[in-house]
Structure 1
């Protein structure tokens, strides 16, 4: 190796810690400003009322049921395929306004749900689409059993083991 190449290798210095800290701080500020800007563009910023207090958002009509809620007892059963998989379903019924459902009818709806879950293949319940299909099927069964008194079926918990 020649003396000239040894001098250039020795004269190169590693970046100082201060320069590295400055670069990290500048990049952090740029990322923070970009996040703030995109948050404002996407409408995630909280609007401020004239008095300076944050306005309350009203929930959508879909989220607020008009009828009464009937909570079903948890249903525990196994599925058809594979038979060693158990399902626990916690659900509730939204009854149309002005309608009532007797305890016997609630028990019959719960029994229908259990009978339906015993015929389900585990592959049918995969993903969000499977959960939506399950809710739709249970809702149709509840409407048929109650002669249209049930408006919606909500699934609060679905555990498979």
Structure 2
């Protein structure tokens, strides 16, 4: 045998040292399982239930009977607005098409005239916006927040949320 196959770390020559590799793989597998389980529990907690996904020791399990336990909050009326097509302030050659909808608070009704005024406010805002404000996920989140604030102010709090169904920038 040559001196290249025998070494102090691998005295048998032909066989690879499997011990350290198996230990590393076992540690990675164990950490993956722990991280996955923690993510699953945290996801169940954040998903809107406000409770952990499984029963917690010392606590009662959630009730399975209908009408008891966590109830979903009903949404109000959803009013789709006509698409807005306008150019942006900077650069003025860039056009934008915005399709959105308003969600009224439960028990509130939004008149078509009020929806038209809110749509006009949205158009005025889009004409004053720049392309830099709309870029990325953060820009989209800020746009929705700004439109939602305008809708709430115009409707005296009748609008609960604003949904952006599509935004096309050309």
TM-score bracket, normalised by the shorter chain, equals 0.5 to 0.7
- Paired position in structure 1 for 2:167: 158
Mapping 1:5-20, distance limit 5 Å? 10-13=2-5, 19=16
Tell me the equivalent position of 1:38. 35
Structure 1 Cα separation of the partners of residues 150 and 124 of structure 2: 11
Q: How do 1:49-88 residues align onto structure 2 when only pairs under 5 Å count?
A: 64=73, 66-88=75-97
With normalisation by structure 2, the TM-score equals 0.62
Distance (whole Å) between structure 2 residues aligned to residue 156 and residue 17 of structure 1: 63
Could you list the runs of 5+ residues in structure 1 that have no partner in the other structure?
Answer: 1-6, 50-54
8 Å Cα contact 2:91-2:130 kept in structure 1: yes
Structure 1 residue 85, shift from structure 2 partner: 1.9
With over 3 angstroms needed to count, the CA separation of the structure-2 counterparts of 1:60 and 1:117, relative to structure 1, is farther
In structure 1, how many angstroms separate the alpha carbons of the residues matched to 2:162 and 2:138? 16
Structure 2 gap segments, 5+ residues each: 45-52, 56-62
> Per the alignment, do residues 17 and 99 of structure 1 end up closer, same or farther by CA in structure 2, a change over 3 Å counting?
farther
Across the two proteins, how many residue pairs are aligned to each other? Answer: 144
- Structure possessing the higher radius of gyration over alpha carbons: 1
Give 1:23 shift: 6.7
Q: For residues 83 and 60 of structure 1, what CA distance do their matches in structure 2 show?
A: 48
Kindly report the root-mean-square deviation, in angstroms, between the aligned alpha carbons of the 2 structures.
3.6
Partner SS, residue 11 of structure 1: coil
Q: TM-score, normalised by structure 1?
A: 0.65
More helix by share: 1
Partner of 2:156: 147
Supply the distance in 1 between the matched residues of 2:96 and 2:71 (Cα, whole angstroms). Answer: 31
